[in-house]
Chain A
């Protein structure tokens, strides 16, 4: 199993540009989520999905869109990038609710200039 994969690993955008961060998992996990990591703030939940066709907002959803058309994929879209979105983004998946271990992808380092 590849686990959770993310592409790209690094990305530089100009303010106002749009892009999609890709995330895929091959463990047949129902739950997937996106976090951003900023210095001194830990990981904050952006959006999550409990299954194909179902998405919901997390703690910091503004400026991001998601969709979940398949169990495997959960892309994160930045519609109009802003410098405040400079961060490291992690995708994660887990098999079920609270007590299951969450598996993380390797992260995408995004810089918006």
Chain B
């Protein structure tokens, strides 16, 4: 069975600080896919990134960066120079090979104070 753990329940930072969100996953498959979603206070779920298990190259997109390490089963997400608009709940999710289902972590609430 697949499982996603986001140990951080809430993180509060002051604007311009960096924020790193931890995600640890469990799966028996060798091929799987990892996702991050953002849920702002308005409630919709916004797709941020997808990574497959064969691509450990870390990625930077603007102020966002992702660190995927298979050796530790982690897929961490960093917001650099945080802004108030980054305040949201962030979800890590996992999907196994040839499986339609997406398993979510409990989410981490990020609050960025001005």
A binding-site residues for B, Cβ under 8 Å: 31, 33, 35, 40-45, 48, 50, 58, 88, 90, 92, 94, 96-99, 101-104, 106-107
Contacts and interface: CB of A to CB of B under 8 A. Distances in A.
Contact of A98 (B4, B9, B45, B97): B97
A97 B4 CA distance: 19
B45 A42 contact: no
Given A98-B96, A104-B44, 4 more contacts: A43-B104, A94-B100, A98-B95, A102-B35
A58 B91 contact: no
Contacts of B64: none
Contacts, number: 62
A42 B107 contact: yes
Given A97-B100, A98-B97, A107-B43, A41 B106 contact: yes
Interface residues of B, number: 27
A109 B28 CA distance: 35
A106 B106 CA distance: 19
Contacts of B50: 99, 101
Contact of B91 (A40, A43, A50): A43
Contacts of A35: 104
A45 B101 contact: yes
Given A40-B9, A98-B96, A99-B50, A107 B44 contact: yes
Contacts of B104: 35, 42-44
A48 B101 contact: yes
Contact of B99 (A90, A97, A106, A107): A97
Contacts of A102: 35, 47, 102
